[in-house]
Structure 1
């Protein structure tokens, strides 16, 4: 599409994410901006999942369609929205198998929660969500028929059995969620979402039974949507998905935590109606919010300086190796999980095309 598209794509994508999520976050542009920024800050590899054109198409743009779907679910009934529900999630699922599987889990939990909670307009909302669920299923079915699947399977390691895939997915999900919980920027982000929700959930009241159910569904989404993404990696490549794919996990986890925060404040308002208590609570959370913003900003700034230095060194390393073409050493790329060892064919073809060589060989660095 040309280099000019690459320059403006991140801004366009960010704007679309904010605008389509506005209804979800109490029609507040500020809250939407905060949430999307937190997602991007926590992205395991923002370069590959947001700034890289191909990565953004596969892993970030699908959330634009999901946000639009959820906005329609929240808004009042529209005669055409059932067809729109199918189309939106059909398109969203078609960008990547990992997103489609996690979306299948998410929509199934939404259907279950709507049915059990018996919200207003239940029949209409259920029809809409089920139409979206069917869109995901049809999209997955068509992807399974893609002729490119066989060609791609020849370039990766196939799993030894389905038992291996399931067991590995469960263990990797546990490891990855625990790893997320150990990251300070992630914890600061949760605190900011929690505090930000307070500003908009002042009038919401949710009874205890519904609160418990919402918490269960939100926690289930955190676990099973993460497992779905990781399952896609082990099923197709016998390894955990690359960092760019794990962007999907962070988006769903942060969104689920927003739902958790919303339900907790709804429960708080159900039991405590005193303005005095609410003001004290408001002051406390406001303080925590500023605390989290300060430390998150410091952490992000420090990390981005480190990434900038890493990218600069990466570029210098490539320039030094040009003299050795068409045989180059195995230079470690930016990003923790991807490596030349796993992607030698792809890397060599890209570099060969860039420098005008027919073939390029990557050898292990001594």
Structure 2
């Protein structure tokens, strides 16, 4: 059934006067809708149902406008009457299912959407509504199958893939979820949640390196979402890229300064890179927020003990040394230090032996 408002084809039993009045009301309703005068358009369709109470299409269009106006309970009655008058109209079933979904009446929505699909097996929107109702009831297997069918009918609708991926994650079918979220991102590359879910699936597959740029893109799109930063930092830790994880945890803390677990993870990273004093400070912050955090208590005590041991083993430098009398190492006044220096022998000078010396003896 078309979503455009059709011009009425009056039944043969209608008088010409009723036909003219119905046609005029339809035209007036179209004009009111174009001018966003919903209440006036609603009145026009209600008048049509009074003139021609057996006309299912008028009830269908009346229900659509009641939904736009937020009058959902009234819309239920309009759609139910349309179905009663034309039980083969898949659009009326789907529209009624949509109302039940808006009202979070999930159990009521399921059979109505299923009936729409039975009447039209290629009714794309009915599959999406049914998938949503099933997901809300945590019937993940059925929801995944429904979304898969919807994607086969229309492969370009982002929310089909996003919701299908969510069902697959709930089922822990990680590899399938990766493929589905990659398709969702291909359709709409600006929805940060698709990147977050894709990153989660990659992490469960231990594809840490692949997950990092995915989380980074999510943070780029929405830098104010705590879990993006937290998950990115966790992934960097798995890769032992502690220096890179530290500023990411710090960004997460700025967004949520009351998460003891995040402070704990940051402290452990600082410990890994030997920034002990900072690690101690963050372990202390953990215990401020959660005094019974036993693991943090143990880590803090361990670090403090190591710090104390290192301090006690450090060489002690005395500041009470006796002054050195450097003057005693220098010649006294009037003395010369030249006597300590070797005397040079002049070149080309004959050494004359003294009489009676060893050198003056004649050797035959």
> What TM-score do the two structures reach when normalised by structure 1?
0.19
Which one has a bigger Cα radius of gyration? 2
Identify the structure with the greater helix proportion.
Answer: 1
